[in-house]
Amino acid sequence: MTMTIPQETLDQLTHVPMPKHVATRQPNEMLQLGADIIPVYRSEALVIGSGAAGLRAAVELRRRHIDVLVATQTLFWGTSACSGSDKQTLHTAATSKQGDNFIKLAQALGAGGAMDADTAYVEAVGSVEAFAGLKYIGLPLPEDRYGAILRYQTDHDEAGRATSCGPRTSRLMVKVLAEEAIRLGVAFVDHSTVIRLLVAGEGRERKIAGAIAINSGDRGENNPTGLAIYLCPSLVLAAGGPGELFRDSVYPKRCFGSLGLGLEAGITAVNLTEHQFGIGTRRDEFPWNLSGTYVQCMPYIYSVDDKGNEHNFLAEYYRTTQELAANIFRKGYQWPIHATRMLDFGSSLVDLAIFSESQSGRTILMDFNRNPQPVAGDESFSLERLEPDVASYLSNNDALLPLPIDRLRRMNPLAIELYKYHGQDISQAPLAFNVNHQHMNGGLAVDTWGQTSLSGCYAIGEAAGTHGVTRPGGAALNAGQVFGLRCAKQIANQTASPPLAVAQLHKQIAQCMADITQGLSNESGLSLQQIKADIQQRMSDKAGFICYADEVSDALQAAQQLNQVIQQQGIAIPYVNKVAVSFQWRHMALASEALLTALDFYISQGGGSRGARAICSAQGEAVPESRQGPLADYRFITEKPEHRQQQLTVTYQQGKFAVTVSSLRQLDDLNAIFFEKNWPDFLTGALYR
Ligand SMILES: Cc1cc2nc3c(=O)[nH]c(=O)nc-3n(C[C@H](O)[C@H](O)[C@H](O)COP(=O)(O)OP(=O)(O)OC[C@H]3O[C@@H](n4cnc5c(N)ncnc54)[C@H](O)[C@@H]3O)c2cc1C
């Protein structure tokens, strides 16, 4: 039996208002440096970022009586608050029917290789507490009548461990976590962009001391740029992923993350070659992933050229109408691109075809009022001729209906509602889209508590490189929650350190101020637009999901050159409002060089196509095929199995990036853990050290 969902319910899950008022914090002291008077904020822990990961850390720290401060570029902005898909997914241990097996879940999380086994296990077992906490504070996770959570199968997920609150799961997570943070009295500094990390000590004694930020609320006569200092013994980077790194990107605008910020401070990064790319609506309109039911309803995908002619281009790739329709459908749960799925007429051939078509300057569209048009010489699309997986899915969901829009409305009315809310009625007009950068699997390297290579500095959420080559859909949100919890547990179990005298950091603060002063009067410096265009074009054209092996070293040289010019010429900061973003572009330039360094190294080691990136080369062993024959331009190198057992780490030292190959961390023998033996470690807090 199918039921119409009341409009009010659809509204609640798509238009998610955020809390209006959060607690703010006044500076603890003022620092006079020359003519400038700069506020200094002290806290036991500083969380940078107010996405789902940062808010979880803040809530868990406060629950453990830690004086925590959240500094955030923009409250309720970022990927968690502003991104999603048809059913945005949270992937945790299955909590219905037979329950789950954590070893198997950990294996599934790391199945693509290059993931530490201990991290995978921590994310698997930790998912239960992380998930229960969200439920407890009001996340509307769907249940069946026995109280079990409704689950489905998503990408890289053989067991069906996914669940969702609708298109805006992560925004709803931000909402309930923010409400909890407000209840607990967590203090926030909004419009605070951290531009540099402060580090105390040398060599092995190096540890985090705090951060320098630009706070628009702290601007004044004696502080025209709004410079502010945070001092803290523990700092959690939860600033999200580097959404601005690629031109073709589905991240909301102004998502810079903290990869470059961390690299600049000497923190090691890992798995920077690993990403997700997939289809989504364009950034200049309403960026959103077109996964799940958007494609499981099998819309007609076509292109339009500059003369307005329509092209049924997918029909030139697949052999039959049935095969074409099935692969559009399968993009639903095989949503991100995977190089090997470009072979054998698999679902990533759809992405390749879209990429190739858009390279010729055509606009790609999805029409929900037309079924896929036939392949030449074959019969028309028919619900009577569907591949078995497609037929059973539609039939199980009572969605064997004539048009894509009917099927979508039946399976997921929220998916239609969401676009309507953002000004596009997909029941009336086709939707333009393309292939985008969607997620960074790598990031700052962390241990199983989320601590980076810089003592006292943690990275969680998309800032952390906790995923391997692939990740099941929803594992990113889970990882952010698990590590938000774990870093809080470790921080709360540390012995308090004496407050740091700000005088110890004068040199670093003065250097940062000098950089700002120089930028504000630097007429010959590089413009922000130049840096942005240079980085984004290079990343999308040379390090996107189609990547030509022989073009990467030139791209790396160009990225290195950009950083050299930034060093020598500096960046022109046109006015004080642009100080923060000028640092963010400086960091992006570093992140881009770091990524290309890792990619160049990987390719030089014979590294092949894996995860979302096809490493194309005339010497490649695999060739995707269309119905017209081999697609020689996309011949690609296949993955070397030994690379699954390694990670590439990148560290910035004396102005250069160094790459190291490291083996994966393993899991200790779980059979050697016993209650009485291991209880004291918990009671004394030894396990956190
Ligand atoms: C379209 C799309 C769909 C997705 N769907 C899924 C899905 O279905 N399942 C899944 O698991 N994952 C999904 N992801 C990925 C997931 O949404 C993100 O990995 C996750 O939301 C990141 O959360 P976060 O808290 O780490 O960062 P964010 O939510 O991006 O938060 C970052 C915060 O840091 C702040 N900030 C940034 N820089 C600074 C700075 N320098 N100083 C101070 N503050 C700063 C920002 O203002 C923001 O508050 C999707 C991503 C996209 C783009």
The pLDDT assigned to 2 comes to 59
What span, in angstroms and rounded, lies between the C-alpha atoms of 536 and 591?
Answer: 12
Closest listed residue to residue 461, CA positions, set 242, 196, 149:
242
| Span from the CA of 192 to the centroid of ligand 1 (angstroms) | 17
Q: Which atom of ligand 1 is nearest to the CA of 87?
A: 8
pLDDT single digits (tens) 442-483: 999 999 999 999 999 999 999 999 999 999 999 999 999 999
| Span from the CA of 595 to the centroid of ligand 1 (angstroms) | 19
The pLDDT assigned to 155 comes to 79
Can you tell me which residue has the tokens 């702290």? 218
Does 79 sit in the ligand 1 pocket, CB within 6 Å? yes
Sheet strands (E) in 470-622:
546-548, 614-616
Q: What are phi and psi of 159, to 5 degrees?
A: -95, -10
Alpha carbons within 13 angstroms on the beta-carbon side of residue 608 total 19
> Does residue 268 sit in helix, strand or coil?
coil
Q: Worst-scoring range by mean pLDDT, 37-46, 93-102, 261-270, 527-536? A: 93-102
| Span from the CA of 76 to the centroid of ligand 1 (angstroms) | 10
Query: What is the rounded average pLDDT of the residues 660-682?
Result: 97
Ligand 1: residue whose CA is nearest its atom 3: 84
Does 552 sit in the ligand 1 pocket, CB within 6 Å? no
Does 251 sit in the ligand 1 pocket, CB within 6 Å? yes
Cα torsion 153, 157, 159, 164: sign: negative
The pLDDT assigned to 153 comes to 83
Query: What is the rounded average pLDDT of the residues 321-325?
Result: 98
| Span from the CA of 78 to the centroid of ligand 1 (angstroms) | 5
Does 77 sit in the ligand 1 pocket, CB within 6 Å? yes
What span, in angstroms and rounded, lies between the C-alpha atoms of 77 and 51?
Answer: 7
What span, in angstroms and rounded, lies between the C-alpha atoms of 75 and 124?
Answer: 29
Closest listed residue to residue 459, CA positions, set 36, 53, 39:
53
> Does residue 195 sit in helix, strand or coil?
strand
Does 544 sit in the ligand 1 pocket, CB within 6 Å? no
Q: Encode burial over 186-202: b for 16+ CB neighbours within 10 A, e otherwise.
A: bbbbbbbbbbbbbbbee
| Span from the CA of 177 to the centroid of ligand 1 (angstroms) | 14
Ligand 1: residue whose CA is nearest its atom 33: 49
Does 51 sit in the ligand 1 pocket, CB within 6 Å? yes
Does 439 sit in the ligand 1 pocket, CB within 6 Å? yes
pLDDT single digits (tens) 517-568: 999 999 999 999 999 999 999 999 999 999 999 999 999 999 999 999 999 9
| Span from the CA of 101 to the centroid of ligand 1 (angstroms) | 28
Does 73 sit in the ligand 1 pocket, CB within 6 Å? yes
Q: Which atom of ligand 1 is nearest to the CA of 88?
A: 8
Ligand 1: residue whose CA is nearest its atom 52: 83
Does 48 sit in the ligand 1 pocket, CB within 6 Å? yes
Q: What are phi and psi of 266, to 5 degrees?
A: 85, 10
The pLDDT assigned to 159 comes to 82
Q: Which atom of ligand 1 is nearest to the CA of 461?
A: 26
What span, in angstroms and rounded, lies between the C-alpha atoms of 351 and 366?
Answer: 13
Does 176 sit in the ligand 1 pocket, CB within 6 Å? no
pLDDT band at 333 (very low <50, low <70, confident <90, very high): confident
pLDDT single digits (tens) 572-582: 999 999 999 99
pLDDT single digits (tens) 253-287: 999 999 999 999 999 999 999 999 999 998 888 99
What lies within 8 Å, CB to CB, of 215 at 6+ separation is 39, 71, 189, 191, 192, 193, 226, 227, 228
Kindly report the average pLDDT of the chain as a whole number. 96
The pLDDT assigned to 9 comes to 87
| Span from the CA of 83 to the centroid of ligand 1 (angstroms) | 8
What lies within 8 Å, CB to CB, of 254 at 6+ separation is 73, 74, 77, 243, 244
Does 480 sit in the ligand 1 pocket, CB within 6 Å? yes
Query: What is the rounded average pLDDT of the residues 600-610?
Result: 97
| Span from the CA of 80 to the centroid of ligand 1 (angstroms) | 4
Residue 1 predicted with pLDDT over 50? no
Residue 359 predicted with pLDDT over 80? yes
| Span from the CA of 54 to the centroid of ligand 1 (angstroms) | 10
> For the whole model, what pTM was predicted?
0.97
| Span from the CA of 374 to the centroid of ligand 1 (angstroms) | 39
Q: Which helix (H) or strand (E) holds 310?
A: strand 310-311
